[in-house]
Chains A and B, each alone.
Chain A
Amino acid sequence: MAGNIFKEEALEEKGERARMAAFIGAMAIEDLVKSTLGPKGMDKILQSAGRGHSITVTNDGATILKSLHVDNPAAKVLVEISKVQDDEVGDGTTSVVVLAGELLREAEKLIAQKIHPMTIIAGYRMAVDCARSALEMKVRNNKGDSEKFRKDLVNIAMTTLSSKILSQDKEYFANLAVDAVLRLKGSGNLEAIQIIKKCGGSLRDSFLDEGFILDRKIGVGQPKRIQNAKILVANTAMDTDKIKIYGARVRVDAMSKVAEIEAAEKNKMKEKVEKILAHGINCFVNRQLIYNFPEELFAEAGIMAVEHADFDGIERLALVTGGEIASTFENPESVKLGHCKQIEEIMIGEDKLIHFSGVELGQACTIVLRGASTHLLDEAERSLHDALCVLAATVKDSRVVWGGGWPEMLMARHVDELARKTPGKKSLAVESFGAALRAIPSIICDNAGLDSADLVSQLRAAHFNEDSSAGVDVITGAVGDMEARGIYEAFKVKLAVLLSATEAAEMILRVDEIIKCAPRQREDGM
């Protein structure tokens, strides 16, 4: 009866067993995403358990981990850091999990040698500080030179895209993404970049449009093309304008009165439309539905009316055309209208879309993705999103480093040096940290079917030289000069990977007991 103080189904694991459970869970997650790392990484098919068993094909670590139902608490920590990496910098979601997993793998070996987890943590902390300062010393910054900076950006985008489905056309898409991000003029507001996916055509048919494309149809009988448009962006009910005062209801005593009220209602709508017309507009975009009656009125007045644009669409449209989102129409003179040179209906594939070109604020743009299937398009969108995020982060923090395992090798070398200088057990942990860092280029090689042991040792030798720029070139399968090959990565991403992976590893290492509460009973037995 050894004091069972928990509920019946609760689980308690202690000491070594808890640590084992945590390590195994974390490494299982690492092994899962490991094979997607690098330019030759493989994709995963994810099938949802919900209705329809919809399928996602992806290479994006965060997407894979997000869709997993993980029970192991340590594994959940890794899923969490990957998610945060996605939210914060957008790329490196696989790397962060792999690095954390490798750190734990090394830690497990040390624990087998009877080294206390706290000692390992102390060593890791020393190592991470050292790695960070080593990386910071070697960053390059081309902020001042816009020509070079653009080239940096293209290189970064190409590196990011090379591991994704877009790698075939990476140059094309890298330029596309860089153009889009540079249009933002440093604001880093990715909302202004709209991605529209349309099935059909090939990936190469994708294009960047300088205007704004709204995936909606123009009302019947209204002009399909407008020059010098004045746009009113609105969020108002255009069905029947209900009275919002609480408790109002219609109570009549004769049919005739119903008719009267109906007429009054209609009249009211008409008045509303007239008020809207009084703004002197020729295009009206509403977030909510526009019923037939007002639509007809708009058609009569020769105004383009677009209904049911979703909230994001409305916000973006307001952003790009410079208008304000209106909900009342009493003072037409003071409402700011949006402007654009031309609005027309265009066809992409088989779908009709509304195209706003020559918009006032040049920041916004739309990327139209074309591709053979929805899965392909979804993956392409994710890849592009990654690239855009990285670029936006780089525009803010323009420091870049070389890619292809170069930063890892550089950090590993400095960490190794530190290990040699450190007395005590901690030095073993510091050394392990270096080994974990070197595991990343070796996984990249393995995934590409190259001899990782050979290549990584070559790299290591090359990095003995202080200013080496050597990294793995997976395409040619040899060690090469990263600068010449243009394999660049954003410093911010690398730093975030390093820090969050260490943080997560430390968190898991500190655990010596896992208590799982009894799962909440669900009624439907799911």
Chain B
Amino acid sequence: MALAFDEYGRPFIIIREQEQKSRVRGLDAQKANILAAKAVSRILRTSLGPKGMDKMLQSADGEVTITNDGATILEQMEVENQIGKLMVELSRSQDYEIGDGTTGVVVTAGALLEHAEKLLDRGIHPIRVAEGYEMASKIAVETLEKISTKFEYDVFNFEPLVQTCMTTLSSKIVGRCKRDLAEIAVKAVLAVADLERRDVNLDLIKVEGKVGGRLEDTELVYGIVVDKDMSHPQMPKHIEDAKIAILTCPFEPPKPKTKHKVDIDSVEKFQALQEQEKKYFDDMVQKCKDVGSTLVICQWGFDDEANHLLMHRGLPAVRWVGGVELELIAIATGGRIVPRFQELTPEKLGKAGLVREKSFGTTKDRMLYIEECANSKAVTIFIRGGNKMMIEETKRSVHDALCVARNLIRDNSIVYGGGSAEIAVSLAVEAAADKIPGVEQYAMRAFADALDAVPMALAENSGLQPIDTLTAVKAQQVKEKNPRLGIDCNDVGTNDMREQNVFETLIGKKQQLQLATQVVKMILKIDDVITPQSY
């Protein structure tokens, strides 16, 4: 097949080194791809829902991660298969766009593919299946919008927001203090939110963790916490009403970027150069002092001499502060980042009410708190926990909670969780399918069936009889015309999700369905996989 003939009947090769490549074509290619995608989604299936389990991942360097977050699991498990990588991408884009529901999207995509496989077995062309899915997803999104409700909150009554964040956190290991963490997350988001424009810049929320202490010690700092200490051990550890000079130039002799040589050929020049050097250090420190700064935060290192001069003139300084942190400090304190000493002016200084150093544990761990900043629109969530893995997992969970709160502020439409939305959509798609003539009808029915995968997995993970529970809830939804009925994962006694306070954002759900359909369509369209054999 790789051999073709030109118009003179001479053979030529289309794909070179054919023997060294393996190639899967046609229906086999689709089947193999579907199998791989299913394998990925099967791994995540058990992590879904409040009773979902965690995965332990060991990286190539032996580092251990324990997590429940779909995007993280997929990212860390180093999938080799190409289709597997597509699924990883899928989960990642859900993470970037929405921040939550990363597991659900993969499970949905897996289920869609599983049902597509059955249709392929019946001899339906993959493109027709894809088209049917597309139509179904349109109906699904419409249904979601129909059943969505508005979610009421305001800055003073943020209890509903806290409730939503708690739903997100309940499936994580931090579930133990979900209330505290949810409150922290909501307060953090409200602190940086621009309610006029309904926008939240999550970059303004810094999530910092430190091993040790307890999860309950996690706190929200209205300011910035930097994992650095003063450059000189004898500098003051507590500064009030600090005026901060934020510098990106090192306290070191200048290093011009153009190549140059300074030649010393006489004693005078030698001495002159020394004088120059001394003066240079002096000038640097003096400039900072002259504009009235009481704290210097620098991105680069200090020379020993400069360090002492700073200390000597009573100018505390922090060195090697990362670029991102520097920016945050600048935003929080209302200062400007100054790249050269010459450009330092009093207006460019940042202001903070209190800067203090705090030490932890028995080792020499110190962190710098910058609080009561001029512009309070930058906050830090400071996480403590028993071990490194716990902190990492908490960071991820808090990030999810932050995203959820942000999405609600952006768009306060919600749908109810616990699989209720999926069941409602499935019913609507099923009903719509009957009205569509042609092969697509089958595809749409398959779509409806696939949507049941999420509530099914939820029920399974919670130790319920999956089929029994699902059919019961479905029947109830039809009978009562109540799209809020879902799976009662926590065994509360009611399956009305409004009473259980389990809901998700409409955009999140919509995105989930759309992304999953897109990826499934893409996978169905592949009919030829060529890989180099030598791998």
Binding site for B on A (CB under 8 A): 1-7, 10, 18, 22, 71, 73-74, 76-77, 80-81, 83-84, 86-90, 116-118, 125, 189-191, 235-236, 241, 243-253, 257, 260-261, 263-265, 268, 315, 318-319, 324-328, 330-331, 334-335, 389, 392-393, 499-500, 503-504, 506-507, 510-520
> In the complex the two chains form, is B173's CB within 8 Å of A506's CB?
yes
Given contacts A235-B304, A507-B66, A511-B54, contact A499 B60 (CB under 8 A): no
| Number of B residues, CB within 8 Å of A | 86
> In the complex the two chains form, is B305's CB within 8 Å of A243's CB?
no
CB neighbours (8 Å) of B55 from chain A are 511-515
> In the complex the two chains form, is A2's CB within 8 Å of B78's CB?
no
13 contacts between A and B (CB under 8 A): A3-B81, A5-B83, A6-B80, A74-B56, A236-B305, A243-B270, A250-B264, A319-B233, A328-B309, A510-B54, A514-B55, A515-B76, A517-B59
Interface residues of B in 346-373 (CB under 8 A from A): 359-365
CB neighbours (8 Å) of A189 from chain B are 359
Q: How far is the CB of B369 from chain A (nearest CB, A)?
A: 18
Q: How far is the CB of A429 from chain B (nearest CB, A)?
A: 15
Alpha-carbon gap, A513 to B54, bound state (A): 7
Q: How far is the CB of B85 from chain A (nearest CB, A)?
A: 9
> In the complex the two chains form, is B266's CB within 8 Å of A245's CB?
no
> In the complex the two chains form, is A245's CB within 8 Å of B58's CB?
no
Alpha-carbon gap, A514 to B61, bound state (A): 15
The majority secondary structure among interface residues of chain A is mixed
> In the complex the two chains form, is A6's CB within 8 Å of B77's CB?
yes
Given contacts A77-B389, A87-B363, A513-B43, contact A520 B60 (CB under 8 A): yes
- B428 within 8 Å of A by Cβ? no
A-B contact count, CB below 8 Å?
239
CB neighbours (8 Å) of B36 from chain A are 3, 5
Alpha-carbon gap, A511 to B280, bound state (A): 59
Ranked nearest first, the 5 interchain pairs of A and B with the lowest CB-CB distance are A327-B308, A3-B39, A512-B53, A500-B386, A88-B212
Alpha-carbon gap, A245 to B279, bound state (A): 12
CB neighbours (8 Å) of B311 from chain A are 324-325
As a 0/1 sequence over residues 320 to 354 of chain B, the CB contacts with chain A under 8 angstroms (1 = contact) are 00000000000000000000000000000000000
Interface residues of B in 375-419 (CB under 8 A from A): 385-390
Alpha-carbon gap, A92 to B262, bound state (A): 60
* A510 partner, pick from B66, B81, B266, B364, beta carbons under 8 A: B66
As a 0/1 sequence over residues 450 to 488 of chain B, the CB contacts with chain A under 8 angstroms (1 = contact) are 000000000000010000000000000000000000000
Given contacts A318-B233, A511-B53, A519-B62, contact A248 B264 (CB under 8 A): yes
- B267 within 8 Å of A by Cβ? yes
Given contacts A77-B387, A517-B78, contact A335 B56 (CB under 8 A): no
Alpha-carbon gap, A77 to B522, bound state (A): 40
The majority secondary structure among interface residues of chain B is mixed
Alpha-carbon gap, A244 to B35, bound state (A): 64
> In the complex the two chains form, is A236's CB within 8 Å of B304's CB?
yes
Given contacts A80-B389, A507-B66, contact A248 B363 (CB under 8 A): no
Binding site for A on B (CB under 8 A): 32, 35-36, 38-40, 43, 46, 51, 53-62, 64, 66, 68, 73, 76-81, 83-84, 173, 176, 211-215, 232-234, 252-256, 259-267, 270-271, 273-274, 276-278, 280-281, 303-305, 307-309, 311-312, 359-365, 385-390, 463
Nearest neighbor of A253 in chain B, beta-carbon distance: B265
Given contacts A245-B277, A500-B386, contact A251 B260 (CB under 8 A): no
> In the complex the two chains form, is B80's CB within 8 Å of A520's CB?
no
Q: How far is the CB of B75 from chain A (nearest CB, A)?
A: 11
Nearest neighbor of A91 in chain B, beta-carbon distance: B362
Given contacts A87-B361, A125-B176, A513-B43, contact A73 B58 (CB under 8 A): yes
> In the complex the two chains form, is A118's CB within 8 Å of B361's CB?
no
Alpha-carbon gap, A90 to B312, bound state (A): 36
> In the complex the two chains form, is A5's CB within 8 Å of B307's CB?
no
Given contacts A3-B39, A260-B266, A260-B267, contact A244 B81 (CB under 8 A): no
Given contacts A116-B463, A190-B362, contact A517 B58 (CB under 8 A): yes
> In the complex the two chains form, is B303's CB within 8 Å of A503's CB?
no
> In the complex the two chains form, is A87's CB within 8 Å of B307's CB?
no
Q: Which of B40, B58, B266, B359 has the most CB of A within 10 A?
A: B58
Q: How far is the CB of B289 from chain A (nearest CB, A)?
A: 14
Alpha-carbon gap, A328 to B359, bound state (A): 29
Alpha-carbon gap, A356 to B477, bound state (A): 83
CB neighbours (8 Å) of B280 from chain A are 245
Q: How far is the CB of B393 from chain A (nearest CB, A)?
A: 8
> In the complex the two chains form, is A22's CB within 8 Å of B80's CB?
no
Nearest neighbor of A191 in chain B, beta-carbon distance: B364
Extra A-B contacts (5), CB below 8 Å, given A77-B387, A513-B43: A7-B78, A87-B363, A261-B270, A511-B66, A519-B62
* B79 partner, pick from A5, A87, A244, beta carbons under 8 A: A5
> In the complex the two chains form, is A510's CB within 8 Å of B53's CB?
yes
> In the complex the two chains form, is A327's CB within 8 Å of B307's CB?
yes
CB neighbours (8 Å) of B264 from chain A are 243, 248-252, 261
Given contacts A5-B80, A22-B56, A249-B263, contact A243 B66 (CB under 8 A): no
Q: Which of B40, B176, B385 has the most CB of A within 10 A?
A: B176
Alpha-carbon gap, A246 to B233, bound state (A): 28
> In the complex the two chains form, is B81's CB within 8 Å of A249's CB?
no
> In the complex the two chains form, is A325's CB within 8 Å of B43's CB?
no
> In the complex the two chains form, is A327's CB within 8 Å of B305's CB?
yes
Q: How far is the CB of A362 from chain B (nearest CB, A)?
A: 18
> In the complex the two chains form, is A327's CB within 8 Å of B265's CB?
no
